[in-house]
Amino acid sequence: MITASILLQAQSQGSDPMFYIMMGLLMVVFYFFMIRPQQKKAKDAKKFREALQKGVKVVTIGGLHGKVIEVTDTTILLEVDSNVKLRFEKSAIAMDNSQQLNEVTAKA
């Protein structure tokens, strides 16, 4: 009798299709709410870095504000103050700051 009840319990804990459906739905939710937006953000950042041009005001990932003076394949030259120029990897550029700086100066 004891072995029969153990076998019945083992069969009921077997491959439950509802468990696999729930796991599949969980994976879909993770993809659409976590993975996909992160991939889109990385793609947009890469596109921005490839389109950098001379004269654009940017912010680095370290928080340094500057104006692009020169663009090469892998690096850019930023002017952060008069006669102060620093060379950065393109991957160190976080965002375009031209619109924000223009709005601030227009308000002042």
Residue 78 CA to residue 59 CA, distance in Å, equals 10
CB–CB of 54/69 below 8 Å?
yes
| pLDDT tens-place string over residues 41-100 | 889 888 888 888 898 899 998 889 999 999 999 999 999 999 999 999 998 998 777 665
- What's this model's pTM, rounded to 2 decimal places? 0.59
Query: pLDDT tens for residues 14-49?
Result: 568 888 899 999 999 989 999 999 999 889 888 888
Pairing of strands 57-60, 65-71: antiparallel
In Å, what is the CA distance from 22 to each residue of 17, 36, 63? 9, 20, 43
Cα separation, 62 vs 93, whole angstroms = 9
Query: CA-to-CA distance for 42 and 31, rounded, in angstroms?
Result: 15
